[in-house]
Structure 1
Amino acid sequence: MVRLLNLYTISAFVALGGALFGFEIASMSGIAGTYQYKQFFNSPIGIRQGIITGAMACGSFAGSLLSPFLADSLSRKLSIQIGAVLWCIGACVQSAASGAKMLIVGRAVAGLCIGLTTTIVPIYQSEIAPRKIRGRVVTLQNFALGWGLLVQYFIQYGCSFIDSTASFRLPWAIQTLPAILLFLALFWLPRSPRWLAYQDRWDEALYVLAFLRSASCDLNDPLVLAEYKEIETQILVERQNNVNSYRALVSKRLRIRLIISVVLQAFTQLSGINFLMYFIVNILDSISNSNTLVASSILYIIGLLSTIPVMIWTDQWGRRLSLLLGAVAMFFWMELAGVLFATFGEENPVPNEAFTWIVIGRPVVSGFIQASMYLFVVSYALSWGPVSWIYPPEILPQIVRAKGVSLATATNWGVNTVLGIAIPTLWRIITWRLFIIFGSFSVLAFIFVWLLVPETKQRTLEEMDEVFQHGEPLWRSFTDRGNHDRLDILAREIEMADTGYFRRDLPLLQGTS
C-alpha cells in the first residue's frame, strides 16, 4: 500500500514555493495590459513600469541573500514557512494598494518570500531525494511554477472583465491561498535529514532517511544505513579539518562549483525568458495580435506541458546535454524573432505606447514571430528552466550549500531586477535588437557549459568531490572507473557484515515535525 505522505507528496507540497514564483511572474504580465490597471495607476510605461515590475525581483534578491542564515539556523522547513508568511503580507499590501508606491512596497515584501523559497526549496528537495530521481524531484518546483503562471493568468483573464479596480485587486488577493496551503502543509513534513545530521540530531536524521527511503520505515535497511554513513563521513571530515563555511566557499576546491552555480543562474535570466514572460502582452500588441490575453495563455500552457518530459528523462539523459541543446535552440528562436522584427517591422506612429516598433499588416510574419516565442519557451522549459535550479544544490557540499545556493539565486534575482527595470525602456529605444542581444547570450551559455559544466546525474550529494576532482577537464565528465554505484556497494558491505551498525527502535516521526 502506498503511503499518503511519501517522497513525491512531500516534494509536491514544498514545490508550492515554485508556484508562488509563477504567481509572481504572471501577477504583472496579465494585469499590466488591462485598461483598469492603466487607468488607476496612470498608465505607467518605461522606467516607471520597470520599477513596479522590478520591485518583486529586488525583494527576491534581498530574500535570497537572507536565506542561508535562516536555512542553516532555523532549518529549511521553518524558513520556507517564514517565506509563506511574507508572501501573504506582500499580497495583501498589493491588493490594497492606493497608488504605485504602495504597490511597489507590496511587491518588494512578496519578493522576500520568492527569494527565500527559490533558494531553500531546491536545497530541501535535493537533500531529501535519492540520487536516482533527484533531478525529477527538484524539477517539481519548475512544474509548480508553470501551474502558478497558468492559474494566476487565467484568474487575471477572468477578472479582466470586471469594470473596476477589483479586476487587479482580486487576483493579487487570491495569491495568498497557495502560500497558506504551503505554510500549513509544512507542519506535517519532515526536516532535511542532512540538516538534522549537521545539527547533531543523528537519531532524527536516521529516522527521516528511513521514512523517505523505506516503505516500512526500516531503520536497518542497508541502503538507508549506507546513505547515513556517507552523510556522517562527510560531516566528520569537515569537522576534523575545521572547515569554515565562508572560507570553504571561495576555496580552490569549491571555487569552480560556486562559479558554475552563479553563472548558470545569470544565463537563465540573460536568455531572455522573463523578457517574454513579463512583457508578452506588449510584444504581442506590437505584432498586431488581436487577442493578446488568449495568445499569452497559450505561452504559459506550453511552458507547463514542456516541463513534464524533463521530469521523466533528466535523471537518465542528464543535465549537461539538456543545457547544451537548450542553448542552441534558444539562440535560434530568439534570433529568428529578432530578424523578422527587423526585416518586416516599422516605427510605431502612435506616441506614448509601451512599444515603438511594430509589425502591421503582415499576419504571416506576425504568426512566425509568435511561434518563435512559443518555441523559445518550449526550449527553455525542456532545458535551462529546470536544470539551472537542479545544479547549485547538488554540486555544493553541506557546509556551504545554503550559502552557495543563496549567492547563485541572488545572482538570478539581481539580473532579473536590472532587466525588469531596464527592459520597458530598452524595448522602446532599441526595439527588435533586444531579441538579438538575448540570443547572443545563449551562445555564451553554450560555450560556458561545454567547457566547465560536468555531468552529475545519478551521483549522491556526497560524491560531488569526485565529479569535480577526478583530474581531467570538467567537460570530460567523471566516469565510474570501477566505483559504479558506490552507495549500493556500501549497502551490500553493511548487509553482509550484519554488525548491527544501527539497531534502534525510534518512535514514528519523533522530532521531525
Structure 2
Amino acid sequence: MKIAHISGAFNGRLLVTCGITALSQVTLGLEQAAFTSTQEMPAFAHTFGVYSAEGHAHRLGSDFMDLLNGLPYVGLVFGLVQGSLISRRFGRRASLFVMCLWAFFGVSLLVTSHSQLQILFGRMITYVSVGIELAVVPVLHAELVPAQVRGLVVGTYHTGLLVGQLVMSLICRATREIEGDSSWRVPLGLLYVIPGLVFCLGWLIPESPRLLLINARPEKARQSLQKLRQGRFTDDEIEQEFQQLCDTIDITTDQGSFREIFRGSHMQRTLIIVGVNIFMQVTGDSFVSQYGTAFVRTIDTVNPFSMVCIYSAINIFVSLVAMLLSDTVGRVPLMFASAIIQAGSLFTLGGLGTTSTSPAVSSATMAMMAVFGVGYQIGWGPLSHVVAAEVPTTRLRDVTYAVGAIFSILIQCAISLSVPRAVDGQMGPGSQVGFLFGIFAICAALFTWFCVPECKGKTLEEMDHLFLHGMPIREFARVGQVNVHVSKEVEKDGV
C-alpha cells in the first residue's frame, strides 16, 4: 500500500483517535507477559507459594496456578458482555472510560496483594477491562475509518498485543534482579500507565457516527463524521458517505435484537464470525507457544529469553506487513496462505517429534517455530479481528461480534488448560499434537476460501448491500463499487 494512500485517509482527529485506541490494545500483551514472567520470580513464589522442604524453596501450587491462569477467562467473558451492552446503550467512548475504571481497580488489587485470594481476584478484575476492550475497540475502529485503511487499523488489535508482550518481557527481565517483592510489584504497577493515558485522552475520541444514527441522533452523527473526514475528503464525499449510512441503517434490520443474528443473511454472517473466531484459536498458536517455550528451555546452548525476544520481533514485523497488505492484497489471500504455512510447519513439528533428539532436529524445530509464527501473523493473527468486526451489519455489530468472541474465549480456555499437559512428553504425545492442529489449519484454509467474504476496499454499507441481496461469498472479490442507495421499499432482511 502506498504511503499517500494511507495518509490520505487520516485527518488529525482520526489519527489521534486511532492512536489512543490502538494504545489501549497494548494492555493485554503487557498483562499476559507480566504474569508469565513474574510467576518465575523467587519473590513472587515466596509471597504466594508454599515452602517445599524437598527443594528448600517456596513453590507455587498447581491448584493456585490453574486458578491464576483460568479465572481471567471468567472476567474476560463478563467484560465482553458488559462492554457490548454499555457500548451500544451509552456509546463507544463511555465504554472506554468504564474499561479504564475496571483496570484501575484490578491493578490496585494486584500491586497490593499479600494473599492468593487477593491476587486471583485482582487478575480476574483486570481481565474485565480486557473484555470490554475486546468488545469495543475493533468494532470502533471498523466504524470510524475509511474503507481503504480498515484492515490496517483494525489489525492493530493483534499487533498491539505482540508489542505489549515484548515490552513487558524486557521490563520483567530488568526487574527480576530487584530484591524483594518490588521485582514483581513494579511490572504489575506499570499496568496503570496505559489505562491512565486512555482515561485522560479519551475525550478526544469522537462517537461512532453509525451508533449515533442507530440511536436517532442524525445531526450528531453528521458532525462526528465531519470531524473524522474533514480535510481529507470533500464536502460532497462526506455527504455521500453520510447518506449511505442513513440509507443502509434504515433497511438492514428493525431493532438489532439478539434473535435477529439468527435470521436471514444475518445467520450467514454470524456463522462466518463464529467460524473465524474458532479457527483463530485452533490453528496451533497456543500449541506452538507452549511447546516452543518448553522445548527451548531444554537446550542448554540457547538463551530462552533471547529466543523469546527474537520470535517476538519477527512476529511484530510480519504482523505489521500483514496490516499493510490487507487493504491491497485482500483478507482472503492472506488468510488462506497463512493457514497453509501454519499447516506445513505444524505437520513438520509433529514429524520432528517422532525422531531422536539431535542438534539438527533442534535447529529444525526452532526454525519451524519461526515459520509457524510467520504463517500465523501474516493472516489469521491480525485479520481474524478485521473480518469479525466488518462482516456484521451495523445494528447487530456489537452482539454478533460478542457472540463470536465468546466462542473464541471458550476455545482458548479449553486449549490453554489441555495443551500444557499434551505437550509434556511424559504425560502426553508431545510435539505430535502438531498433527492434530495441522489438520485444523487445513480446515481453516478451506473455510477461508469458501466461507470468508473479501472485504478489502468496500465500505461497511457496501458489505450490507451485498449480503442483503444474496451475493455468493466467492463473488464478493469480483464486485467493484456498489450502489448502496437502495430504495426503502426493499423488503427488510429477515422479515
Scaled to the shorter chain, the TM-score interval is 0.7 to 0.9
Aligned residue number for residue 496 of structure 1: none
1:401–1:249: structure 2 CA closer, same or farther, 3 Å change rule? same
Q: How does 1:276-355 map to 2 (within 5 A)?
A: 276-277=288-289, 281-288=293-300, 290-345=302-357
CA RMSD between the two structures: 2.5
Aligned residue number for residue 154 of structure 1: 170
State the 1:484 CA deviation: 2.3
Aligned residue number for residue 155 of structure 2: 139
Deviates more, 1:336-345 or 1:257-266: 336-345
Equivalent of residue 15 in structure 1, options 22, 41, 51:
22
Aligned residue number for residue 490 of structure 2: none
State the 1:425 CA deviation: 2.9
State the 1:209 CA deviation: 1.1
Tell me, in whole angstroms, the C-alpha distance in 1 between the residues paired with 2:471 and 2:245: 26
Equivalent of residue 50 in structure 1, options 31, 52, 66:
66
1:89–1:422: structure 2 CA closer, same or farther, 3 Å change rule? farther
Is contact 2:283-2:437 (8 Å) kept?
A: yes
Deviates more, 1:332-341 or 1:174-183: 332-341
Q: What amino acid is the match of 1:119?
A: A
Tell me, in whole angstroms, the C-alpha distance in 1 between the residues paired with 2:306 and 2:112: 27
1:392 aligns with 2:388: yes
Aligned residue number for residue 441 of structure 2: 442
Q: What amino acid is the match of 1:340?
A: L
Deviates more, 1:116-125 or 1:442-451: 442-451
Q: 3-state DSSP class of the match of 1:343?
A: coil
1:33–1:334: structure 2 CA closer, same or farther, 3 Å change rule? farther
Deviates more, 1:8-17 or 1:221-230: 8-17
Aligned residue number for residue 505 of structure 1: none
1:470–1:326: structure 2 CA closer, same or farther, 3 Å change rule? farther
Aligned residue number for residue 276 of structure 2: 264
Q: Percent identity?
A: 22
Aligned residue number for residue 254 of structure 2: 242
Aligned residue number for residue 467 of structure 2: 468
Q: How does 1:39-118 map to 2 (within 5 A)?
A: 39-42=46-49, 43-44=59-60, 48-118=64-134
Aligned residue number for residue 493 of structure 1: none
Deviation string for 1:126-152 (max 9, x for gaps)?
110111111111122223222211111
1:5–1:465: structure 2 CA closer, same or farther, 3 Å change rule? closer
Equivalent of residue 217 in structure 2, options 180, 196, 201:
201
Aligned residue number for residue 484 of structure 1: 481
1:101–1:369: structure 2 CA closer, same or farther, 3 Å change rule? farther
Deviation string for 1:403-451 (max 9, x for gaps)?
0111111222222222223333333321223333222221121121222
Is contact 2:213-2:221 (8 Å) kept?
A: yes
1:149–1:450: structure 2 CA closer, same or farther, 3 Å change rule? same
1:216–1:263: structure 2 CA closer, same or farther, 3 Å change rule? closer
State the 1:35 CA deviation: 4.0
Q: 3-state DSSP class of the match of 2:136?
A: helix
Q: 3-state DSSP class of the match of 2:353?
A: helix
Tell me, in whole angstroms, the C-alpha distance in 2 between the residues paired with 1:343 and 1:460: 51
Q: 3-state DSSP class of the match of 2:12?
A: coil
Q: What amino acid is the match of 1:329?
A: I
Is contact 1:77-1:186 (8 Å) kept?
A: yes
State the 1:395 CA deviation: 0.9
1:90–1:126: structure 2 CA closer, same or farther, 3 Å change rule? same
Q: How does 1:362-381 map to 2 (within 5 A)?
A: 362-381=358-377
Tell me, in whole angstroms, the C-alpha distance in 2 between the residues paired with 1:201 and 1:289: 64
State the 1:181 CA deviation: 0.8
Gaps of 5+ in 1: 346-361, 491-513
Tell me, in whole angstroms, the C-alpha distance in 1 between the residues paired with 2:471 and 2:215: 35
Deviates more, 1:321-330 or 1:198-207: 198-207
Tell me, in whole angstroms, the C-alpha distance in 2 between the residues paired with 1:102 and 1:439: 40
State the 1:290 CA deviation: 4.0
Q: 3-state DSSP class of the match of 2:94?
A: helix
Q: Count how many residue pairs are aligned between Structure 1 and Structure 2.
A: 466
Q: 3-state DSSP class of the match of 1:459?
A: coil
Tell me, in whole angstroms, the C-alpha distance in 2 between the residues paired with 1:60 and 1:123: 17
State the 1:14 CA deviation: 0.4
State the 1:164 CA deviation: 2.5
Aligned residue number for residue 55 of structure 2: none
1:365–1:452: structure 2 CA closer, same or farther, 3 Å change rule? same
Tell me, in whole angstroms, the C-alpha distance in 2 between the residues paired with 1:278 and 1:52: 17
Tell me, in whole angstroms, the C-alpha distance in 2 between the residues paired with 1:179 and 1:34: 25
Q: What amino acid is the match of 1:225?
A: E
State the 1:256 CA deviation: 1.4
TM-score by length of 1: 0.84
Structure with more contact order per residue of length (Cα contacts < 8 Å, sep ≥ 6): 1
Deviation string for 1:5-35 (max 9, x for gaps)?
3322311210123211211331233333444
Q: 3-state DSSP class of the match of 2:108?
A: helix
Q: 3-state DSSP class of the match of 1:344?
A: coil
1:424–1:38: structure 2 CA closer, same or farther, 3 Å change rule? farther
Aligned residue number for residue 423 of structure 1: 419
Is contact 1:30-1:281 (8 Å) kept?
A: no
State the 1:225 CA deviation: 0.6
Aligned residue number for residue 455 of structure 1: 454
Is contact 1:93-1:102 (8 Å) kept?
A: yes
Q: What amino acid is the match of 2:481?
A: H
1:216–1:318: structure 2 CA closer, same or farther, 3 Å change rule? closer
1:204–1:172: structure 2 CA closer, same or farther, 3 Å change rule? same
1:436–1:40: structure 2 CA closer, same or farther, 3 Å change rule? farther
Q: What amino acid is the match of 2:251?
A: V
Deviation string for 1:250-300 (max 9, x for gaps)?
102211111111121111111232344467543421344642122112221
Aligned residue number for residue 54 of structure 2: none
State the 1:217 CA deviation: 8.5
State the 1:89 CA deviation: 1.9
Is contact 1:46-1:424 (8 Å) kept?
A: no
Aligned residue number for residue 511 of structure 1: none
TM-score by length of 2: 0.87
Equivalent of residue 171 in structure 1, options 187, 206, 226:
187
State the 1:402 CA deviation: 0.4
Equivalent of residue 30 in structure 1, options 37, 48, 62:
37
Is contact 1:13-1:185 (8 Å) kept?
A: yes
1:342–1:317: structure 2 CA closer, same or farther, 3 Å change rule? same
Q: 3-state DSSP class of the match of 1:342?
A: coil
Tell me, in whole angstroms, the C-alpha distance in 1 between the residues paired with 2:436 and 2:188: 33
State the 1:48 CA deviation: 4.4
Tell me, in whole angstroms, the C-alpha distance in 1 between the residues paired with 2:61 and 2:310: 25
Q: What amino acid is the match of 2:33?
A: A
State the 1:485 CA deviation: 5.6
Deviation string for 1:219-252 (max 9, x for gaps)?
xx111111110111122224xx634422321102
State the 1:125 CA deviation: 0.4
Q: 3-state DSSP class of the match of 2:199?
A: helix
Deviating 4+ runs (over 6 angstroms): 1-4
Deviation string for 1:488-513 (max 9, x for gaps)?
xx8xxxxxxxxxxxxxxxxxxxxxxx
1:165–1:374: structure 2 CA closer, same or farther, 3 Å change rule? farther
